């Protein structure tokens, strides 16, 4: 990677343990790439207006090449109003309305890291998606979870690349019945063990963004992998599956925005 003198900024509101862990991963990669990582920790009591002002101030310097706000934010914070304080040209997470608008109109310089992660994993599994107009589409994809981090951007990206796309909220009744003929299942519901190999057809691919803890305290995803090998189901592990790819794509965006 080319060297840069610009820093990567991150805001954390409060001290949520999972958020701190995610930020440590990003900081470690930044240091490996020779990028200065600046973490700004703000109190849980901060107001939306104060947070927005702080984000604007911290991301403003010309030496700032990329900026993120670690999610989730406290319920009292207007998430969109706060995220919109990140300048579009520094929004490496692609979460502000200007950055997302550019993505949804296919005019953006970058795509959300979740989308880039799905594309990378599918390419590594040699699943070619039909993106050209008029190209033959053969694969069926199911996206579980319609959130703005995973489900919405990934669903938008997939809609013109697969033969059939189903986006399900995790609370949909009989969700398991809708997975049986899916070639690709992308999960981002955050419900531990929401589905398993018995609900999938042989040879399916599972890309699991879910992150939760079992009653025993073990980190688990939405997909329970028991029995996956017997059905030749390829799946991303939790932890250590989509997470490292997401972080890599975040820094790819950093370089793209500063090239």
**pLDDT tens digits for 131-158?**
656 556 889 999 999 999 999 999 999 9
Is the pLDDT assigned to residue 1 strictly greater than 70?
Answer: no
- Regarding whether 65 and 120 lie in a shared domain, the answer is no
The answer to the question of residue 52 being in a domain is yes
Pick the closest to residue 246 from 29, 12, 11, 18 (CA basis). 29
- Regarding whether 78 and 11 lie in a shared domain, the answer is yes
Q: 7 φ, ψ to 5°? A: -100, 160
- Regarding whether 118 and 220 lie in a shared domain, the answer is yes
Confidence of residue 123 (pLDDT cuts 50, 70, 90): very high
pLDDT digits (tens, 9 = 90+) for 111-121: 999 999 999 99
Q: What CA–CA distance (Å, rounded) separates 187 from 39?
A: 29
Tell me which residue has tokens 């984000």.
Answer: 55
- Regarding whether 122 and 84 lie in a shared domain, the answer is no
Mean pLDDT, range 94-98, rounded to an integer: 97
- Regarding whether 158 and 66 lie in a shared domain, the answer is no
- Regarding whether 32 and 145 lie in a shared domain, the answer is no
The answer to the question of residue 106 being in a domain is no
Pick the closest to residue 20 from 43, 45, 47, 41 (CA basis). 41
Is the pLDDT assigned to residue 93 strictly greater than 70?
Answer: yes
Give the SS3 label for residue 143: strand
pTM greater than 0.85 (yes/no): yes
Is the pLDDT assigned to residue 70 strictly greater than 90?
Answer: yes
- Regarding whether 121 and 83 lie in a shared domain, the answer is no
For residue 147, give its domain range.
Answer: 113-242
The number of domains in the chain is: 2
- Regarding whether 142 and 68 lie in a shared domain, the answer is no
Contact (CB, 8 A) for 67 and 55: yes
CATH code for position 36: 3.40.50.10860
pLDDT digits (tens, 9 = 90+) for 186-208: 999 989 999 999 999 999 999 99
- DSSP H helix total and E strand total for the chain: 7, 12
What are the DSSP calls for 1-28, one per residue? Answer: ------EEEEEEES--HHHHHHHHHHHH
CATH code for position 213: 3.40.50.720
């Amino acid at each position: 990677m080319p060297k840069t003198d610009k820093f990567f900024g991150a805001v954390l509101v409060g001290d949520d343990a999972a958020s701190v862990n995610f930020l440590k991963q990003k900081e470690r990669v930044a240091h490996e790439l020779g990028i200065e990582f600046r973490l700004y920790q703000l109190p849980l009591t901060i107001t939306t207006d104060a947070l927005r002002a702080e984000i604007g101030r911290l991301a403003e310097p010309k030496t700032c090449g990329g900026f993120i706000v670690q999610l989730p934010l406290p319920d009292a914070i207007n998430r969109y109003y706060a995220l919109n304080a990140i300048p579009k040209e520094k929004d490496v997470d692609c979460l502000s309305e200007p950055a997302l608008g550019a993505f949804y109109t296919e005019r953006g310089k970058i795509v959300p890291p979740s989308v880039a992660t799905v594309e990378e994993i599918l390419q590594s599994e040699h699943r070619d998606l039909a993106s050209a107009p008029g190209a033959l589409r053969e694969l069926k994809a199911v996206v579980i979870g319609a959130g703005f981090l995973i489900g919405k951007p990934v669903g938008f990206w997939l809609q013109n690349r697969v033969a059939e796309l189903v986006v399900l909220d995790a609370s949909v009744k009989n969700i398991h019945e809708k997975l049986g003929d899916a070639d690709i299942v992308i999960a981002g519901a955050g419900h531990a063990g929401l589905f398993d190999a018995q609900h999938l057809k042989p040879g399916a691919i599972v890309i699991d963004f879910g992150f939760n803890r079992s009653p025993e305290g073990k980190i688990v995803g939405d997909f329970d992998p028991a029995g996956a090998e017997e059905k030749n189901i390829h799946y991303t592990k939790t932890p250590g599956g989509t997470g490292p790819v997401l972080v890599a794509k975040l820094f790819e965006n950093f370089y793209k925005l500063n090239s």
